Amino acid sequence: MTVTTIAAVREADRVDESLVSAFGAIVGKANVLASFDQRLGYARDRLPFAVFRERAGTLAGAVPRLVVRPANEDEIIRVVQLAGARNTPIIPYGNGSGVLGGAIPLGGEIMLDTRRLDKIVSINPTDAVVTVQAGMNGAEFERQLNEAGYTCGHLPQSIEISTVGGWLACRGGGQASSRYGKIEDIVAGLKAVLPDGAPLEVRPVARRSVGPSIRDLMIGGEGAFGIITEATLRIWKKPEIERGVVLAFPTQQAAWDCARLIMQAELRPAIVRLYDRVESDERTKDIALFKTKPYLAMMMFSGSEPLVTVEQDMALAIAKELGGEIGPDAPFHHWKENRYVAYSQKWHDAGYFNDTIEVTGNWSAIPAMYDAIGNAVRKIHAGVHFGAHWSHVYPEGACQYMTIRLPPMADDVALPIHARLWDAVQELTLDHGGSIAHHHGAGLFRNPWMRRELGAGLNVLQTIKDALDPANLLNPGKLGLRPGPNAKDIRRD
């Protein structure tokens, strides 16, 4: 691997003043960020690999040519049209909270920062929908909905550092997905700007039968097919009751079976979290019950009476049949108080190589998939930390969310091991019929496995991309799609 230091990039950096002037005429000079340090702040998202590289004084990708901050859809249209005329690629940027490199520039791109589009447009109580601009901060969005008596139901761990548009672009999932669904289940309609600058609107109607879903080309498209400017989301009344329960199970299989049977019984707890032995021990080491029943599960039942009590009683009856026993509620309260805290940074600051990988598997495959991945990871490096939990559950399966952590060591030793760990996890997931991503998206870092995941479907996406964006100017090189000319290969360059 050849690397270029940030200091060397700074020394060689030049700004195209004609671009500064041209984009400044659209968005205002103050909303074109041209200094090196300003642009360096947009050179990566929260992809751990990029964090490791930056910690060592190098870059995973490139420093963007400029950062442009439009205020509305009209300015975005004009920015896109100008970029097309100047053959300048664009990466839409929300808050940079993605962890797969979807917002990393690979060479020559400008960043289109959407965060000035930051307001709720309207709340429609009759239709139970809210229309919101794409750059609005997630936590502020939920706070304003709560004040109006509603919730959007999408509560990711990153809610305080992400935008609504980012949720859609990465096809995200919130912590209450077992009740409300993932973001694709919540979006009723949207607006976007296509690669040629044309506006696109998918009107927010209850359901439709007019061919394949255009909406779903944007949700999960990570800015490669269009730039989302506005979304209309389903909303629900803010729950009157939120009741948490901690359960101890004798085996991992019993915990899995409990979640499966609860969901297949058509119950919908807001929270269902199951932990493997490693993560259970971290959360229950001082609780006597878990010495004999060592597997932790947490659930939260929410809504109004009598539904909450009926749902809870039915779910706990299923748990009891499987040996589940109600335990002290301290683990639940600790989780709830820290549910939006990201723990990775403390490990990065201490020199560790910490990463998380979330995949999806069906209930029939999860036991073997979990064992195979855990065994493979531990064989790759004896000192690796590997723990998992299942925090998005559905009638047919669940998301398996894994933390992998290598101890401090030299980068030239750690990064090849890190690559082998990722390869083992993704390949074994596919071997067991799973999907390589549940809610973090594909971004850049999952490119090597997109062909095996999608098969001929990747050809379909590339064909659509080529038709909509023949110059390959919107976020090129992501989702396993064709990179732009002279794009950096982050694993080699």
Q: If you search the block for the tokens 């990039």, which residue do you land on?
A: 9
pLDDT in tens, 406-454: 999 999 999 999 999 999 999 999 999 999 999 999 999 999 999 999 9
pLDDT band, very low/low/confident/very high, at 491 (cuts 50, 70, 90): confident
> What does the pLDDT average to over 479-491?
93
Radius of gyration of the chain (CA): 23
Whether the per-residue pLDDT at 262 is higher than 80: the answer is yes
Is residue 224 a known part of a binding site?
yes
**Which class would CATH give 241-338?**
alpha beta
pLDDT in tens, 275-303: 999 999 999 999 999 999 999 999 999 99
Which residue intervals of the chain bear CATH 3.30.43.10? 6-115
DSSP codes joined into one string, 247-307: EEESSHHHHHHHHHHHHHTT---SEEEEE-HHHHHHHHTT-THHHHS-EEEEEEEEE-TTH
Q: If you search the block for the tokens 């894994």, which residue do you land on?
A: 402
> What does the pLDDT average to over 374-379?
98
Q: State what percent of residues in the chain have pLDDT above 70.
A: 99
What pLDDT does residue 68 have? Answer: 98
Whether the per-residue pLDDT at 493 is higher than 90: the answer is no
Mean pLDDT, the chain, whole residue set? 97
pLDDT band, very low/low/confident/very high, at 53 (cuts 50, 70, 90): very high
Which is it for the CA torsion 486, 490, 491, 493, positive or negative?
positive
Q: Which overall architecture, per CATH, does domain 6-115 show? A: 2-Layer Sandwich (3.30)
Contact 405, 351 (CB under 8 A): no
Whether the per-residue pLDDT at 2 is higher than 80: the answer is no
CATH number of 345-449: 3.30.300.330
pLDDT in tens, 98-134: 999 999 999 999 999 999 999 999 999 999 999 999 9
Whether the per-residue pLDDT at 4 is higher than 90: the answer is no
Whether the per-residue pLDDT at 3 is higher than 80: the answer is no
Which residue intervals of the chain bear CATH 3.30.300.330? 345-449
Is residue 226 a known part of a binding site?
yes
Is residue 351 a known part of a binding site?
no
Which residue intervals of the chain bear CATH 3.30.465.10? 120-237
> What does the pLDDT average to over 66-88?
98
Is residue 223 a known part of a binding site?
yes
* Domain covering 120-237 assigned CATH 1.10.1660.10 in the classification: no
Active site members: 401
pTM, two decimals, is 0.96
Which residue intervals of the chain bear CATH 3.30.70.3450? 241-338
